Chain A
């Protein structure tokens, strides 16, 4: 009787093992398949319309009816906007993330309240940021412009950037901080010379995450950055963006223009990809110094 029970238990443990393994394989493959399906479908639909003139020209008259031109206005506009917003967000996020993890390391409650609010802000849909940005613009009598777009997107990505950086900084071993402090470092020296060096790869990931959201978001820039066929040459001019360019072309009834929407999506994906790879290369130079 006792022996039988023992065998059953072994079988149970083994089947549990198999169950979780199948579950993991299943979810991994679902995610990979979904991702591939998205990429393949935009490639299949977009590649035929992708041409050099598409990425080197601004829209000519009648572009949205299938005539000549390209989306250079949206490419440049998106790059301006998302680089501007990422840099601006970095200026605010880095100090806040470091402050939470170095200066406030004793006041866990304060830090947790800040984290709670940032998580709330992270959850707010970007269209609400767009609407908020629009209200502010109206209040100050501003028109849709690159600057308004940058400010709105900055507000929108700050919570993402701060929380991601915060999660990275939390992983710094306490012993490393103690080492740095016992050499007589001030808090800022510890933050900038030790913590940041230790965390550079993670920090770059955090910045990339925010950049990806910035360049991919349509709703926040809809009311604030506007849309135009020209490349902006000052902060006060409206600007086109790739997500909106995809949106406008996709809502056209003309098949040729719809296909160009997919081509624009390919361009958007390629930009994110290139920037990710470039910054990974940069961060791997610091990876080797990391203390585990």
Chain B
């Protein structure tokens, strides 16, 4: 049922100052599946996600130990070319942060910094990626408008398209629907179900029902530790650990 491994996390420990945030994380994230990191707020889900593309580098006092492999590349190794690493992973944040430029430039930004400048190529790519996130019909007449003028749901889809534009292998999503209304949330979920055929998706969520709707593989975290991980069926139908059981039953308080 679960075939290849995309990301392999080995003995990951992360500290912020003296606080031990992630404790002995050992897990394999399967390729071209939708993996959900599930758990209550404050359990280190987001931190785990951000260590995957080393956004943790941006925060003072963060110390990481251990290894995270993407194929054979160690992501946490100090010699890793960090911009190349990040291009392999598209990020979808909790609330959408489009870049302060037009809708068009938001999509072409990633292409331009990789040196693609031909107008015709860029135009084609913009249409392609906006279609991928079903945004093209809504914005095709106002590509030059600032991205900040879009609705929140549209902005989040634009951010997804922007993330896809650098041709990543992995999509990292940090509670991508938490700022959205139910309709926009559904749209994002449906996009994910479509995209997982081609990308490895890692999604953080604390919404149990959302996890049930989309997950292939589930990592359940609690207080910085991985309590249990397995296929969606294993976790949702036959949880082993009592903490997982109570969270899944909804009796967790």
Does B151 have its Cβ within 8 Å of any Cβ on chain A? no
What string of 1s and 0s marks CB contacts (under 8 Å) between A89-111 and chain B?
00000000000000001111000
Q: With A174-B58, A175-B93, A179-B159 as given contacts, are A184 and B86 in contact (CB-CB < 8 Å)? A: yes
Tell me the nearest residue of chain A to B148, going by C-beta. A291
Does B44 have its Cβ within 8 Å of any Cβ on chain A? no
A175 touches B159 (CB 8 A): no
Q: How far is the CA of A290 from the CA of B159 in the complex (A)?
A: 16
What string of 1s and 0s marks CB contacts (under 8 Å) between A275-292 and chain B?
000000000000011111
Within 8 A of B (CB), among A233-292: 288-292
* Residues on the A chain within 8 Å of B84, using CB: 184
Does A54 have its Cβ within 8 Å of any Cβ on chain B? no
* Residues on the B chain within 8 Å of A219, using CB: none
* Residues on the B chain within 8 Å of A49, using CB: none
Does A117 have its Cβ within 8 Å of any Cβ on chain B? no
B97 touches A184 (CB 8 A): no
Chain B nearest Cβ from A171, distance in angstroms = 12
Does B101 have its Cβ within 8 Å of any Cβ on chain A? yes
B148 touches A185 (CB 8 A): no
Q: Which of the candidate stretches A71-79, A121-129, A132-140, A191-199 sits at the interface with the other chain?
A: A191-199
A178 touches B86 (CB 8 A): no
Does A189 have its Cβ within 8 Å of any Cβ on chain B? yes
B100 touches A184 (CB 8 A): no
B60 touches A107 (CB 8 A): yes
A289 touches B113 (CB 8 A): no
B100 touches A290 (CB 8 A): yes
Q: How far is the CA of A184 from the CA of B149 in the complex (A)?
A: 25
Q: How far is the CA of A193 from the CA of B101 in the complex (A)?
A: 10
Q: How far is the CA of A173 from the CA of B58 in the complex (A)?
A: 13
Does A209 have its Cβ within 8 Å of any Cβ on chain B? no
Does B8 have its Cβ within 8 Å of any Cβ on chain A? no
Does A118 have its Cβ within 8 Å of any Cβ on chain B? no
Q: How far is the CA of A290 from the CA of B86 in the complex (A)?
A: 24
Tell me the nearest residue of chain B to A182, going by C-beta. B91
Does A8 have its Cβ within 8 Å of any Cβ on chain B? no
B99 touches A194 (CB 8 A): yes
Residue in A177, A184, A189, A289 whose CB lies within 8 Å of B101 = A289
* Residues on the B chain within 8 Å of A181, using CB: 55, 58, 86
Residue in A108, A176, A185 whose CB lies within 8 Å of B97 = A176
B146 touches A179 (CB 8 A): no
A291 touches B99 (CB 8 A): yes
Q: How far is the CA of A291 from the CA of B106 in the complex (A)?
A: 12
Q: How far is the CA of A197 from the CA of B105 in the complex (A)?
A: 12
Residue in B60, B93, B113 whose CB lies within 8 Å of A179 = B93
Q: How large is the interface on B (under 10, 10 to 19, 20 to 34, 35 or more residues)?
A: 35 or more
* Residues on the A chain within 8 Å of B163, using CB: 182-183
Q: How far is the CA of A5 from the CA of B90 in the complex (A)?
A: 60
Within 8 A of B (CB), among A194-214: 194, 197-198
Q: With A106-B59, A185-B83 as given contacts, are A175 and B99 in contact (CB-CB < 8 Å)? A: no
Q: How far is the CA of A194 from the CA of B83 in the complex (A)?
A: 16
A179 touches B59 (CB 8 A): no
Within 8 A of A (CB), among B187-240: none
* Residues on the A chain within 8 Å of B99, using CB: 176, 179-180, 194, 197, 291
* Residues on the A chain within 8 Å of B86, using CB: 181-184
* Residues on the B chain within 8 Å of A197, using CB: 99-101
Residue in B57, B87, B100, B149 whose CB lies within 8 Å of A183 = B87
A289 touches B97 (CB 8 A): no
Chain B nearest Cβ from A264, distance in angstroms = 41
Residue in B57, B60, B87, B94 whose CB lies within 8 Å of A184 = B87
What string of 1s and 0s marks CB contacts (under 8 Å) between B90-128 and chain A?
110111011111100000011001100000000000000
Does A27 have its Cβ within 8 Å of any Cβ on chain B? no
Chain B nearest Cβ from A82, distance in angstroms = 30
Q: How far is the CA of A97 from the CA of B137 in the complex (A)?
A: 41
Tell me the nearest residue of chain B to A199, going by C-beta. B100
Does A186 have its Cβ within 8 Å of any Cβ on chain B? yes
* Most chain B Cβ neighbours within 10 Å, of A175, A177, A179, A183: A183
Does B53 have its Cβ within 8 Å of any Cβ on chain A? yes
Q: With A106-B57, A184-B84, A197-B100 as given contacts, are A288 and B146 in contact (CB-CB < 8 Å)? A: yes
A193 touches B109 (CB 8 A): yes
15 new A-B contacts at CB < 8 Å, known A182-B91, A291-B148: A107-B60, A173-B97, A179-B91, A182-B172, A184-B84, A193-B109, A193-B113, A194-B99, A194-B100, A197-B99, A197-B101, A288-B146, A288-B148, A289-B102, A289-B146
Q: What are 8 of the A-B contact pairs (CB < 8 Å)? A: A106-B57, A178-B58, A179-B159, A179-B162, A181-B86, A183-B163, A290-B148, A291-B97
Which 9 pairs, one residue from A and one from B, show the smallest C-beta to C-beta distance? A184-B87, A182-B91, A198-B100, A175-B97, A179-B97, A289-B100, A183-B110, A289-B146, A184-B83
